[in-house]
Amino acid sequence: MLQLMIVEDEVIERKSIHFILNKYFKEKIEIVGEAANGIEAVEKALETKPDIILMDINMPEMDGLTASAEVKKKIPECEIIILTAYGQFDYAKKSIEIGITDYLVKPYSNEDFCRSMERLILKVNQKKSETSDVRLLKKRTERMSLFIEREMIMELVHSREISIDKVMQLKEFLEIQDEKFKCLIYRSTLEEKFSDAVISKVIASYKAVTPHIICFSFFNEFVLFLFSDSIEQKAASSVFKDLHMRIQEELKQVDSLPTLLGESAVYQDVGKINDSYKEAKKQFQRNLSLLNQEINSKKPNLYKQENLLCEKILNTEIHEAMALLEKILLEIVSKGELEQIKRYAQQLCILIERRVIQFYDGHFKLKDVDNVLNEIEEIEGIKELAFYMEEVVIDLIMYIEEKRQDQPNRMTEKVKLYIKENYKNYDISLNQMADHIGVSSFYLSRSFKKQEGMSFKEFLTKIRMDEAIRHMEEGKKTIQDIALEAGYTDPNYFSKAFRKYTGLSPREYMQNFKR
């Protein structure tokens, strides 16, 4: 649907035009604005950008002809029909010189108005169709050009035998006259593919130095061939070297795409294009090897610091833990790559969680670890990440301290209740109890004795003997039955244990109680 604006100082005329348009062209025209003078017309036209304007000539403040000239300067594709009176016919004819499409002489009939509008609608739609076709053709041509360029370069770079004719065809296709060239290879250290936006930005940066560039991207590799007969002087300049550094820094900071660069020497023989690519790739591999050596040299020290950090967290030594965390983050941040630092922070949280779980045999766990990992993923700055990691460590230490203080009491009460409910089971043991609670038997034994003043076995024996004594004082069961009730399957073993506990045999105790 085409957009139309009515410019007429007479209210009745505007309403009349509005009525005719709605009656005959409702399905083809949308009225997007009305104006009562030339100044208002220009302002609204620039705002709404209509396809068609119906413009009166004789208006206050700015006449229609002047307004039309202003509109056509800013919106040349806009079609304008002038509405004029008889006495202004010669004046209206001059409007054709500034690109006015048509004019209607007042008073005009509905038939004349509709014929003029039909012609104009047809013209605008044809222009739009032609423009769309041209844009589509241009887009397809650009895509085809890029495809041909990429295929030709890929074939030249990866072929063992170089066809000079093909190289010359490519240079002719790209309208490159210069003979000298060199190869640059950018490659992501995160193994991520270069986006079209990133590629366009890099190309634009190098075109400011040398306009003739052949380039292609392949997975996480972006290759450029810079052609210029003065490329040696440019490559040796500080401007060129600064450009490399600026591009890498921008890719790292803005696009979160850390890269390494490989660069060849300057070549003049286009038949050596394959050699220049190989040389640039070798230099990239050397740079990558140096980076890996640097990272690996730091790993042993970092590993020790991570272990020490876990130890300080487990011991709830908050000040020492915070100092270590700061030291670790400073070492990682020195690499300057936010995405890698975030990956490391996530791995460190997982490591700490595993150490806590191992130390407490699963009784403690880093709270909401999945949520922590997701929140790290959303962080957008290194300082923000450092503050967040500090909060995680502080919260974990406080959580461990709180649980450590409260845990023995709760655990001891749980053990005592379990013994009281299950003392008749002859096979009840410390290991069984530890498995039931989810802690190590060593930790359970130590904590229970500290809280109760007696070992797990001594407490179990006490409960069993108290139960045996209760039955003996009731005098309703035999010693063998009492032994079973107390959790002993062997009456002889029960008698020895009872004597050790009371200083009397079961029979002696029962006889003394009857007296």
CB 189 within 8 A of CB 259: yes
CB 186 within 8 A of CB 204: no
DSSP string of 257-289, one letter each residue? --EEEEE---B--GGGHHHHHHHHHHHHHHHHH
Listed residue (200, 207, 202) closest to 185, CA to CA: 202
Q: Give the pLDDT of residue 245.
A: 86
Q: Give the pLDDT of residue 290.
A: 76
pLDDT reading at 146 higher than 80: no
Question: What class does CATH assign to 409-514?
Answer: mainly alpha
- Domain 2-130, what architecture? 3-Layer(aba) Sandwich (3.40)
**C-alpha angle 450-455-456 in degrees, rounded to nearest 5:** 115
Q: Give the pLDDT of residue 37.
A: 93
pLDDT reading at 212 higher than 90: no
**What's the average model confidence in pLDDT over 124-133?**
80
**What's the average model confidence in pLDDT over 173-186?**
84
Query: Which one of 3.30.70.260, 2.60.120.10, 1.10.3720.10, 3.40.50.300 gives the CATH number of domain 159-291?
Result: 3.30.70.260
Which tens digits make up the pLDDT trace of 236-295?
888 888 888 888 888 776 666 778 889 999 998 877 888 888 899 899 888 877 776 665
Listed residue (393, 383, 373, 376) closest to 323, CA to CA: 393
Enter the DSSP assignment of 108.
Answer: -
pLDDT reading at 362 higher than 80: no
Half-sphere exposure of 203 toward its Cβ, with a 13 Å CA cutoff?
A: 15
Q: Give the pLDDT of residue 265.
A: 93
Which tens digits make up the pLDDT trace of 364-410?
555 567 788 888 888 888 888 888 888 888 888 887 777 666 566 77
Whole-model pTM: value is: 0.37
**What's the average model confidence in pLDDT over 435-443?**
72
CB 457 within 8 A of CB 430: yes
How far apart CA 379 and CA 362 sit, in angstroms, is: 30
Encoded tokens for 221: 């590799």
**What's the average model confidence in pLDDT over 404-421?**
76
Domain spans, the chain: 2-130, 159-291, 296-403, 409-514
Q: Give the pLDDT of residue 217.
A: 77
pLDDT reading at 141 higher than 60: no
Sorted by sequence, the CB contacts under 8 Å of residue 327 that are 6+ apart come out as 305
pLDDT reading at 337 higher than 60: yes
